[in-house]
Amino acid sequence: MSFMVPGLGIVKGMALTLRRFFEPKATIMYPEQRADVAAKFRGRLQLLYDEWGTLKCETCFQCAQACPIECIDMGGTDTRGRFHVHWGPPETYGERREESAVRRAGRPVPDPAFRPFEPLDMTELDRILEDFDHDPAHMLEILEATQEAYGYLPVAALKRISHVTGAWYAMIYGAASYYAHLRFEPPTATEQSDALGRNRPAESAYVAALDAALQGGGRQSASARA
Amino acid sequence: MVNLLKTPAAWPRILLGRADADPTDLDAAVAAGAFEGLQRAFRDLGGAGTIAAITAASLRGRGGAGYPTGDKWRTAATTDSTKRYVVANGYGADPASHTDRTLMLRDPYAVIEGTAIAATAIGAREAFIAVRGEDAEVISTLSAAVGHATDAGFLGDDVLGSGRELWVTVRPVQGAYMLGEETVLLKALEGKRGQPEQRPPHPAVKGLDDKPTVVNNVQTLAAVPWILREGPEAFRATGSARAPGTVLVQVRTPGKDGVAEVPLGTPIREVLKLGGKLPEGRTLQAVLIGGPSGGLLPPDVLDAPYDFDTLREAGAHIGSGSVVAVDDRTDLVELVSVLTRFCSNEACGKSIPCRIGTRRLAEIVARREVGLRRPVDTQLAADLAHDIVASALCDHERLATLPLTSGMRYFGSAFDPESRPTPVASESAR
Ligand SMILES: Cc1cc2nc3c(=O)[nH]c(=O)nc-3n(C[C@H](O)[C@H](O)[C@H](O)COP(=O)(O)O)c2cc1C
Ligand code: SF4
Ligand code: FES
């Protein structure tokens, strides 16, 4: 495929320029004249500012996690001027919440949802990441190994994984919350923290409802139907 | 343990021929012909020859849609790439059907050998068998078998002394019903959320890690060694002309529930007969074919052949391989409601027809179920189902309309709110 003719690239580029040069112009006199937008256009995503001129976004991360096609990710500079490649979890959340509480209520409002996260010994996690070559393609295995090592998926670990693999925090959180065998809290004494293996209640409920319907004993009794 | 149903002695046994042996005993399996196909593929046929043999056998995918396997392999083999993969789909999405897991438990070597042959044919060095994470029995059986086959040199870094590499790995995955769909399964193997991708490009062109990937159902792959051993002609002599070979069917009647190996094209009556007679005083009201997103067909279909195309035309599909006799005790609207609700709950939420369309459909059926009279509902359901099919991102939401559309097509009067009792509570259920 790759034979080389010196100067061919330039000739190709100039040919394209020439072609475009003689094409009819498509200048639209915006804003007097507006182009049609795609039928499925749902408006642009934009974060709004409040009357103090600060972002209304609380960095709660809900939108990034809920977005089914993962088109939203939060990133940028936090309220203390520190740059975060991928934003999200409790500590920034706590900062913004506290800050906006001071702004709105004039006093700090303790936020029960905010727990500063425990410092985490990352040696084990770094070994795991090393094992998987920091490769986001092995995300599920990385998460499973992390859970095996720590018993659950600590926020600090997820953040580290995001930073090191370059995968969006939203993507990692999205995947981790999708799979029922992964967990975000330490297991209680009676629970097992083990990898896969939990039966899905939705499935047992379906099988039971199917059995009931086939045996004519569903929610409607036979007499009600007669 | 899954119940195997007795089939007539004249029926061919392609998938469960070794079902009575100790499943992980490699020596016994080899004595019965295991890995002969792989040796043929490696030594005599080569990649192109193997694909030609599979094409000549007219093998079609058992994962539901019946896509020609030879074509899929050729696409993956001829797409330019540095790497290729094979994924055996053993997820078995339908919780009420145990066909795939029966195969993996009874003859793991057939699945492994078929996977290895597919990898050889398309030039892949890595293959995965994806199974349910909660099915410890399948995971341990398959893993043990892969271990024995690797130790014996059928897999590993020097396959059959050729110096070529071929690794087969058992990969437990867990998610919703949707995980059985091929693009979703690949997402799970990549460690992402289980949601489908727009096709095309099909996985055979751009799959795992964006590399050409053959995704085949485990039954499809398990038929491959047999074809290479006995020849494409012998395979074409089984099943029907349009769909040769056999499939595993989960037959369920009021008296029995079990798995049987059935030649494609067998009249549905014969399939149901494997489950025994209906109890005294009961009559057959309908046959549910294809699992949660299957079609509800009237008893006149009994003489129709059980194969991909006939079922599609009738408004059902082979799907998870389940065939259920619905007797006259069942309220069909309730049954359709259970199925539609499950399909809606299991939908991934990525696209509008998936997230909202299936939900609205389930709501319409639920209104029917309690007898709420909304004159426009019938038209609404038909329109909505049509729109879902037309705008769906993946096949799940398309197929999720089948229980309702087939029910309305064949049992319209049962779905007429006039024929149902007025709900006791007011219309607040709206
Ligand atoms: C909602 C949904 C669920 C599916 N579940 C399964 C499954 O459990 N097992 C399977 O082999 N194929 C399943 N499929 C079909 C796969 O997408 C894919 O077509 C199949 O694995 C390809 O293999 P084949 O060519 O051998 O049929 C499912 C498809 C859909 C739309
Ligand atoms: S992070 Fe939370 S507050 Fe900020 S835009 Fe998203 S949903 Fe809104
Ligand atoms: S199930 Fe969500 S897009 Fe198909």
A172-186 average pLDDT score: 78
Within 8 A of B324 by CB-CB distance, chain A residues are 214
Greater confidence (A56 vs A186) lies with A186
Roughly what angle, to the nearest 10 degrees, separates helices B332-346 and B402-410?
160
Give, in order, the Cα–Cα distances in Å from B248 to each of A49, A147, B320, B321.
60, 37, 9, 7
CB contact under 8 A, A137 and B350: no
Roughly what angle, to the nearest 10 degrees, separates helices A155-165 and A169-178?
130
CB contact under 8 A, B174 and A180: yes
DSSP A4: -
Q: Name the residue among B136, B175, B335 with its Cβ closest to that of A197.
A: B136
**Predicted confidence (pLDDT) at residue B253 exceeds the cutoff of 90:** yes
* B54-113 per-position pLDDT tens digit: 999 999 999 978 999 999 999 999 999 999 999 999 999 999 999 999 999 999 999 999
Quote the pLDDT of residue A205.
87
**Predicted confidence (pLDDT) at residue A97 exceeds the cutoff of 70:** no
> Mutation test of ligand 3: which of B187, B345, B354, B395 has the most ligand atoms closer than 8 Å to its C-beta?
B354
A181-205 burial by CB neighbour count: b if 16+ within 10 A, else e? bbbeeeeeeeeebebbbeebeebee
* B122-163 per-position pLDDT tens digit: 999 999 999 998 899 999 999 999 999 999 999 999 999 888
SS3 B302: helix
Binning pLDDT at 50, 70 and 90, where does residue B19 land? confident
> Mutation test of ligand 3: which of B197, B346, B350 has the most ligand atoms closer than 8 Å to its C-beta?
B350
CB contact under 8 A, A213 and B342: no
Q: Is B217 in the pocket of ligand 1 (CB under 6 A)?
A: yes
> Mutation test of ligand 3: which of B348, B356, B389, B395 has the most ligand atoms closer than 8 Å to its C-beta?
B348
Mean pLDDT, chain B, rounded, equals 92
Quote the pLDDT of residue A91.
42
Interface residue A39 vs chain B (CB under 8 A): no
B228-238 average pLDDT score: 97
Binning pLDDT at 50, 70 and 90, where does residue B427 land? very low
Quote the pLDDT of residue A53.
61
Q: Sign (positive/negative) of CA torsion A171, A174, A179, A180?
A: positive
Beta strands at B322-327 and B246-252: parallel, antiparallel or unpaired: parallel
Residue contacts between A and B (CB atoms, under 8 Å): 110
User: Do B110 and B25 form a contact (C-beta atoms < 8 A)?
Assistant: no
Percent of the residues in chain B that have a pLDDT greater than 90, as a whole number: 77
Beta strands at B284-289 and B246-252: parallel, antiparallel or unpaired: unpaired
Best residue of B80, B128, B186, B331 to probe chain A, by most A CBs closer than 10 Å: B331
Binning pLDDT at 50, 70 and 90, where does residue A45 land? low
Binning pLDDT at 50, 70 and 90, where does residue A38 land? low
B159 Cβ contact partners less than 8 Å away, ≥ 6 residues apart = B42, B116, B120, B153, B165, B166
B320-338 average pLDDT score: 95
Q: Is B179 in the pocket of ligand 3 (CB under 6 A)?
A: no
Quote the pLDDT of residue B307.
95
pTM: 0.80
Task: Quote the Cα angle for A14-A19-A23, to 5°.
Answer: 145
Within 8 A of B192 by CB-CB distance, chain A residues are 139-140, 171, 174-175
Quote the pLDDT of residue B372.
81
Phi and psi based region of residue A47 (left: phi greater than 0; alpha: psi -120 to 50; beta: remaining):
beta
Binning pLDDT at 50, 70 and 90, where does residue A75 land? low
Binning pLDDT at 50, 70 and 90, where does residue A54 land? low
Mean pLDDT, chain A, rounded, equals 71
Quote the pLDDT of residue A65.
66
A68 Cβ contact partners less than 8 Å away, ≥ 6 residues apart = B195, B348, B349, B350, B351, B355
Quote the pLDDT of residue A220.
47
Binning pLDDT at 50, 70 and 90, where does residue A188 land? low
Binning pLDDT at 50, 70 and 90, where does residue A26 land? confident
Quote the pLDDT of residue B251.
97
Quote the pLDDT of residue A217.
67
Q: Looking at ligand 2, which residue's alpha carbon is closest to its atom 8?
A: A57
Within 8 A of B175 by CB-CB distance, chain A residues are 178-179
User: Do B375 and B346 form a contact (C-beta atoms < 8 A)?
Assistant: no
Q: Name the residue among A196, A203, A224 with its Cβ closest to that of B172.
A: A196
**Predicted confidence (pLDDT) at residue A72 exceeds the cutoff of 80:** no
B324-350 average pLDDT score: 92
A10-18 average pLDDT score: 92
Quote the pLDDT of residue A88.
41
* B160-203 per-position pLDDT tens digit: 988 899 999 999 888 788 899 999 999 989 888 888 988 889 99
B391-413 average pLDDT score: 93
* B113-129 per-position pLDDT tens digit: 999 999 999 999 999 99
Quote the pLDDT of residue B229.
96
Binning pLDDT at 50, 70 and 90, where does residue A189 land? low
Radius of gyration of chain B (CA): 22
Percent of the residues in chain B that have a pLDDT greater than 70, as a whole number: 97
Q: How far apart are CA B247 and CA B14, in angstroms?
A: 9
B316-321 average pLDDT score: 95
Quote the pLDDT of residue A3.
66
Quote the pLDDT of residue B319.
94
Task: Return the residue of A nearest to B174 by Cα.
Answer: A179
